[in-house]
Chain A
Amino acid sequence: AQTVTQSQPEMSVQEAETVTLSCTYDTSESDYYLFWYKQPPSRQMILVIRQEAYKQQNATENRFSVNFQKAAKSFSLKISDSQLGDAAMYFCAYPNAGGTSYGKLTFGQGTILTVHP
């Protein structure tokens, strides 16, 4: 069974600084996707960034980038130039792409990010 682990329940960062949120996962598959979702206080979950495992290049989306290490099964999220609006809970997620569990996402426990002005 796939598992996703976020070992940092809470993180904090100063505005304009950089922070990295960690995520590790366990899978026996070789081709898959990984996702980071953000859930701000308004509670609506939105996608931050996604990575395709067969791509060597780390995904980047404006101030958000990932450090994907396939062999280590690690998928960390780096937020550069942190802004107050980045304060949220961040979830790492891994989907079951095969079998009958189409679209089943396994989420990590989440990391609460606080941004200090």
Chain B
Amino acid sequence: ETGVTQTPRHLVMGMTNKKSLKCEQHLGHNAMYWYKQSAKKPLELMFVYNFKEQTENNSVPSRFSPECPNSSHLFLHLHTLQPEDSALYLCASSPRGGTSAGTDTQYFGPGTRLTVL
């Protein structure tokens, strides 16, 4: 257990569905991240939030919409996804945020395995 939880652990959705992934960290961290892990590809950073503000959008398609209502919760809203969006989505957090975030260890959740039919 790393102190970062993700729900659901598995999700199957159709291309026309709308669903949300949830991440919660109980560590008092100030930075949170969404990553995509596809088979045979390196882990790809999607979004970074520092102190609830989005500081990085790594050219992610608009069908992925993040939300960070407070420093403990991070959501990824999904709509009209494509089959190639099927992947493991990982959430992570790190302690300090801001310019210190790049020096901190990131703590990962267990991931949500997403399948888009």
Set B2, B98, B100, B102: member contacting A104, Cβ < 8 A:
B102
Contact A102 B98 (CB under 8 A): yes
Report the contact-size class of chain A (Cβ under 8 Å from the partner): 20 to 34
Instruction: Knowing A35-B105, A43-B111, A44-B2 are in contact, say whether A107-B97 is a contact too (CB < 8 A).
Output: no
Chain A residues with CB under 8 A of B45: 104-106
Instruction: Knowing A43-B88, A109-B42 are in contact, say whether A103-B94 is a contact too (CB < 8 A).
Output: yes
Chain A residues with CB under 8 A of B13: none
From A12-20, A66-74, A76-84, A93-101, the one touching the partner chain is A93-101
Instruction: Say how far A116's CB is from chain B's closest CB, in angstroms.
Output: 24
Chain A residues with CB under 8 A of B2: 44, 46
In the complex, B103 has a CB within 8 A of chain A: yes
- A residues neighboring B (CB under 8 Å): 4, 32-33, 35, 37, 42-47, 50, 52, 91, 95-98, 100-110
